[in-house]
Amino acid sequence: MKTAYFECRAGISGDMCLGALVDAGASLSAIRRSLKKIPIAGYTLSSRKVIRAGISATKVDIQIKKSAVNAHCDTPPHKEQTRKWKDIQNIIRKSVLPEKIKNKGLTIFKNLFEAEGKVHGEPFDSVHLHELGATDCIVDIFGILISLDYLGIEKVLTSPVNLGQGSVNTAHGLLPVPAPATIELLKGYPVYSSEVPFELTTPTGAVIIKTLASSCASVPRLTIETVGYGAGNRDITAMPNVLRLMIGEEYTARNKPILPALENSVIILETNIDDMNPQYFESVMNRLFAAGALDVFLENIIMKKSRPGIKITAIVRENDADKMADIIFSDTTTIGIRMYRADRKILEREVKRIKTRYGFVRFKVSRLKGKIMTTTPEYEDMKAISEKTNTPIKNIAEELTNCKPR
């Protein structure tokens, strides 16, 4: 399991996070190509090397063409358009990104709108983002999700988060740092302020943490493979204004790797439900997967008084158990969840990109003591090829079985 650890001593923002991922090896050209699958326009994405307090870091810049905001509309040029949740939701659903990335993006934006609505006293459906900021936010968030997928990262951890202090100009006027939405999003998460008089953690950075990450008091036991530095907007004399990213494999206290060792443990969450519309289970499963569940499945059961019911089971990492339980409680009618630890044995796993006549395709490769046991092309990649070439997926799968990784 490849793990990303973000060290948030200088806080975290969307562009810092994306910069750190690019610095750690995510391809900017691949990110641009994937972002084109989202129906938004009028922006450019670039990166450059900068120095922050003596440390070389990557600064990602998103330039919004203001003329594009008012194109084909009757609004005067000096007024920004706004986007509500239904607008963002529509943009994401119209994209042709992989479903798992779309679902994570929907969850992130839903968390952001909920926080903004709560702190400003507005109904969820009435909250809006200014379109310039909304486009910037979409590019940041989906650039991050695309980068995590590109690098094969399955788990995200962060240090306690430095918030900064002072005040910041927003569409709602001058607000204290941290911004109210940032605080709302980081409830229950370890935070602090080093008294740097700037906004170090933004709502975008906070919502990324809330949705994707678990906290870690210090650097986890990690066999570090790659390090990346994402630069903030300004050079702060008191400290390097960078978000440091470490990527590698976790290992146990006995110095034995969790992967590729064949043993680790997980938490099983399960509950029986007989009073909920079955149509809602798909949404519950999508939210659990988007939040990082290892697996989610449903079983038909017969409950008391011979009532038909559904047992929903989620297999999750230990650090994510409480977060997953909250999702089940909020999205279903259950009033109780069984939780227990289970040991498991797993094969060594990695995702490899292999060049085929269709272009690069991701394969999930599993090994036992170094010997390849299974090689499976990713379904979403085959689905995209099928739609592009009008070829049945089963035919593509049969052909791709001849592509053997080393």
Per residue in 304-336, pLDDT tens? Answer: 888 999 999 999 988 888 899 999 999 999 999
Asked if residues 273 and 318 have their Cβ atoms less than 8 Å apart, the reply is no
User: pLDDT confidence of 231, banded at 50, 70, 90?
Assistant: very high
Same domain, 334 and 355: no
Q: Are residues 191 and 226 in the same domain?
A: yes
Amino acid identity, position 385 = I
d(C-alpha 299, C-alpha 159), whole Å: 38
For residue 84, pLDDT beyond 80: yes
Do residue 359 and residue 235 come from a single domain? no
* Single pTM value for the model: 0.61
Same-domain pairing of 60 and 163? yes
Of the ranges 159-163, 215-219, 370-374, which one carries the lowest mean pLDDT score? 215-219
Q: Between 64 and 31, whose confidence is greater?
A: 31
Q: What's the pLDDT at 69?
A: 44
Tell which of 317, 345, 373 closes a domain.
345
* CA 363 distance to own-chain centroid: 21
Give pLDDT, residue 147: 97
Q: Is residue 113 located within the same domain as residue 196?
A: yes
Residue 315 lies in a domain: yes
Do both 125 and 208 map to the same domain? yes
Residues 339 and 192 in one domain: no
Contact 244, 227 (CB under 8 A): yes
pLDDT at 387 over 60: yes
Residue 69 shares a structural domain with residue 119: yes
The per-residue pLDDT of the chain, averaged, comes to: 86
The pLDDT, as a whole number, for residue 195 is 78
Strand partners, 345: 263
For the chain, what is the domain count? 3
Task: Report whether pLDDT(258) > 60.
Answer: no
pLDDT higher than 50, residue 50: yes
Domain shared by 236 and 378, yes or no? no
- What does the pLDDT read at residue 404? 67
pLDDT value for 170: 63
> What is the CATH classification number for the domain harbouring 327?
3.30.70.1380
Same domain, 62 and 197: yes
- Kindly state whether residue 405 falls inside one of the protein's structural domains: no
Contacts of 261 (CB under 8 A, 6+ apart): 252
Same domain, yes or no: 159 and 235: yes
**What is the rounded CA–CA span in Å between residue 201 and residue 255?**
34
400 versus 200: the higher-pLDDT residue is 200
Tokens representing 259 are: 């992967």
Instruction: Determine the pLDDT at residue 263.
Output: 43
Which has more pLDDT, 391 or 218?
Answer: 391
Given this model, what pLDDT does residue 351 score?
82
Give the chain's radius of gyration (CA, Å).
22
**63 φ/ψ angles, rounded to the nearest 5 degrees:** -100, 125
Measured between alpha carbons, how far is 318 from 284 in angstroms, rounded to an integer?
A: 20
Tell me the pLDDT tens digit for each residue of 338-360: 998 888 888 887 888 888 888 88
Residues 281, 284: Cα–Cα separation, whole Å:
5
In a domain, 111, yes or no: yes
On whether residue 255 sits in a domain, the answer given is: no
The mean pLDDT of 82-97, rounded to a whole number, is 92
Residue ranges of the alpha helices (H) in 151-292?
180-185, 203-212, 281-290
Tell me which of 386 and 79 has the higher pLDDT: 386
Q: Which domain holds residue 367?
A: 348-400
Structure confidence by residue, pLDDT tens digits, 187-209: 989 999 987 888 999 999 999 99
Mean pLDDT across 31-53: 95
Q: Is residue 257 part of a domain?
A: no
At 406 the pLDDT is 59
In the predicted structure, residue 165 carries a pLDDT above the cut 50: yes
Is residue 119 one of the residues assigned to a domain?
yes
Average pLDDT score over residue span 81-88: 84
Using the 3D structure, point to which of 300, 322, 345 is the last residue of a domain: 345
Question: What's the mean pLDDT in 133-158?
Answer: 93
Q: Do 293 and 315 meet the contact criterion of CB atoms below 8 Å apart? A: yes
Shared domain for 213 and 326, answered yes or no, is no
Average pLDDT over residues 128-151: 86
Written as six digits, the tokens of 45 are 């994405």
The answer on pLDDT for 155 being more than 70 is yes
Is residue 278 in some structural domain? yes
The answer to whether position 256 is within a domain reads no
Residue 262 has pLDDT above 60, yes or no: no
Q: What is the pLDDT of residue 228?
A: 97
pLDDT band at 75 (very low <50, low <70, confident <90, very high): very low
**Domain boundary, last residue among 345, 364, 381:** 345
Lowest mean pLDDT among 235-244, 253-262, 268-277: 253-262
pLDDT band at 172 (very low <50, low <70, confident <90, very high): low
Burial status of residue 377 (CB atoms within 10 A of its CB: 0-12, 13-18, 19 or more): buried
